[in-house]
Structures are given as structure tokens and as C-alpha cells.
Amino acid sequence: MTLRLQALTLGAVLALLAACASTTTFDSIWKATNVKAISPVGKTVVAVFVSKDVSQRRAAEDEMVKDLNKRGAHGVAAYTLLSNDKGADAEAARAVFKAEGANAVVVMRLVGKDQKVTYTPGAPAPAYYGRFGPYWGYGWGQAYDPGYLSTDTLVSVETTVYSLDRDELLWASTSRTVNPTNIKSLVNEVAEATANQMVLEGILAAK
């Protein structure tokens, strides 16, 4: 393998890793203390995304279902069971979910959106003031970098996991994701980060 090919291959790998890197971090985490690691395999889990925007809710719940199915569960989008106008009735929702044979419910809700402006300062570079030739080349190559401003969008999501079998809350967290491109990418990243964290915390069994 040539050096050029090696460099291209390494660059592709680094680019892939950067693309897969999660920008989601947790601001708060709560977990039930009396629960052993639960396996989602074979469980029916209802995915709920709380939003008055029907199209946003459907897109988000569909992505949540994909993630649940990937982990061996049988995911069910709540919009297929409950319309938005009935979503606020807890007892009605519980009855519908139980009738569906659901063992658990995962709920996501947007709780905040902020912007963070970061200034990266520039760096003046002293030019070499010898003869004209050396100065000309050095001066152009070491021009002053004025710095720049960058703005990041931070989206906060609350995620809760309820056991319908035990009738109790198993997990609650608030996460923050940087610059999600759309609702699907946000849900995918939060779901992945939450599942990984639940495994670390001993609530969710590892795949």
C-alpha cells in the first residue's frame, strides 16, 4: 500500500469516526435502585414522543421504534394507538398500552433549545524582516489570523422509561445534543446515548 493510499484510508477512517461521534451529553440522570438489568429482547415497548406537531411526533416515534427493534424489542409507535387529542389522558393511555400487551413505555420530550456562541481568537505571527525575498514569502505564509465566531444549537431532551409490568419509573434523564440536523438525527443520537448510559448504570442489559 502506497503512502498516499495509506493517508487516504486513514483519512476515511477518521472521517467515519467523526461522523459517528456522539454530541449528546447528560445534564441529569435518575435510575431506580431496586431493579436488575432488564433485557428488551421479546418485550413490547411503546415509543412516545410528546409533541403537538403530528408530523414531528410520527417521524420521531418511527425512529424510536427502529431503535427498539434493533435492540430485540417489539417497538410500537404510540401514534398508531393514540391520537394527539387523547395523549394527555394517562389512564386512557395506560389502558390502551396494556391492551396492546406492552411491557414498557419510553417517552421523549423536548425541554429546551439554546444557542452557544464561541469565539476562537486569532494569532498574530511576526514576519521575518530580513531581505525582501524571505520577508515576502514568510509574510504571506504567516498572515494574521483574525479569529472567528461559531454558533452551536443545543437541544435538550427529557427521556423517561416506565415499566408497565411493575407500574413504576425505571429511568429519567435530561440530555443535551449539539447541532442535530433534524428530528430523526436527534432521536437516533439520544436513543443511542441513553441506551448506552442505561447499560453502564445497570438498568439495561447489554446486547
Domain ranges of the chain: 24-118+155-200
- How many Cβ atoms sit within 10 Å of the Cβ of residue 39? 13
Can you tell me the distance from the alpha carbon of 88 to that of 90, in angstroms, rounded to the nearest whole number?
6
Length of the chain: 207
Residues 6+ apart with CB under 8 A from 18: none
Q: Note down pLDDT in tens along the chain; length 207 residues.
A: 443 434 344 444 333 333 445 799 999 999 999 888 999 999 999 999 999 999 999 999 999 999 999 999 999 999 999 877 766 788 889 999 999 999 999 999 999 999 888 777 765 555 555 566 666 666 665 666 667 788 899 999 999 999 999 999 999 999 999 999 999 999 999 999 999 999 999 999 987
Can you tell me the distance from the alpha carbon of 152 to that of 178, in angstroms, rounded to the nearest whole number?
7
Can you tell me the distance from the alpha carbon of 55 to that of 81, in angstroms, rounded to the nearest whole number?
15
- Per-residue pLDDT at 21: 58
- Per-residue pLDDT at 14: 37
Q: What is the CATH number of domain 24-118+155-200?
A: 3.40.50
Terminal alpha carbon distance of the chain: 36
- Per-residue pLDDT at 12: 40
